[in-house]
Homo-oligomer: A and B are copies of this chain.
Amino acid sequence: MDERVPTTIGELGEFALIERLTARLPQGPAVRLGPGDDAAVIAAPDGRVVATSDLLVEGRHFRRDWSGPYEIGRKAAAQNLADVAAMGARPTALLLGLAAPPETEVAWVLRLADGLREECAPAGASVAGGDVVRAPQITLAVTALGDLAGGPPLTRAGARPGDVVAVRGRLGFAAAGLRLLAEGRDGPAELLDAHRRPRPPYEAGPQARELGATALVDVSDGLVQDLGHIAVASGTRIELDGDALPVPPVLGPAGLHHVLTGGDDHAFAGTFPPDVRLPGTWTVIGRVAEAAPGTGDVVVDGRPYTAGGWDHFRS
């Protein structure tokens, strides 16, 4: 008889692992039925549900030598919760799919769950279900759900010429931190930390809806690229003022580049009617113009910014 306490998920087994996980994942008020059945049941008081799903693959979206499980959990939750908020909705629940090798430590998985839980809680959501399977490599599949509270979804297609463009949240911090890690250099803790754990201001989503936003995205692939999605979907051009962009000195000499192209901070960028009165948490960075073929979908001080974005297969 082996009396050791199981330290790997292979030793612990699927069902015991799920028990240990669910014990760490208290259910919020929106969860009508939590983990342990064929499916979860989540409140959708609006009569519609916002739903989004992302995959995070080890070595591509996170590295275990650069980030601990807690931070990976927070980051995985954050990018999905931010997608829900970017529709103008409030997050209600998350589902976690975890594929992992049997030799993965139980403690690593439990800390991952802690990270998911603690990113969800302030956003108003909880981890209500999921799946664990065996695989040679760690992959996380996160689904987030949310509620629109009676409002219209903030799509990418609603921007109109004359609208102002504004952002709320940090830009470029995660990219600057990632570059430090990639180059093996030390640097400001707030940059390294921003890569490991984004801090999306989720409240910006419902707030933008209340302020009458015409379009909204979260900045996951880079400001120029994500605003480009609004420009294309809306049939408009977006003109950014270089001087209006928030480029704090901590971002270093490539600060402007990080602000324009850096993903993963999950700031919110939206378009608002010209007469909007924005609170101080939002920074106006440009305006929406008529599309002008051949000039680019997004211009900075009148010129296209073509430093490239992020293509998950090509880059």
Query: A residues near B, CB below 8 A?
Result: 9-10, 12-15, 17, 32-33, 36-57, 60-61, 83-84, 86-87, 89, 93, 95-99, 102, 128-137, 139, 141, 143-146, 148, 153, 155-156, 216-218, 233, 311-314
Contacts and interface: CB of A to CB of B under 8 A. Distances in A.
A80 to B, nearest CB: 9
Contacts of A134: 57, 60, 312-313
Given A32-B153, A134-B60, A313 B49 contact: no
Contacts of A42: 48-49, 51
B143 A99 contact: no
B55 A39 contact: no
B314 A87 contact: no
10 contacts: A17-B313, A37-B87, A38-B218, A41-B49, A41-B153, A44-B49, A49-B49, A61-B133, A139-B141, A141-B141
A47 B60 CA distance: 38
Contacts of A53: 53, 95-97, 129-131, 141, 143
Number of copies of this chain that the complex holds: 2
A39 B139 CA distance: 21
A43 B313 CA distance: 32
A84 B39 contact: yes
A156 B294 CA distance: 60
A51 B311 contact: no
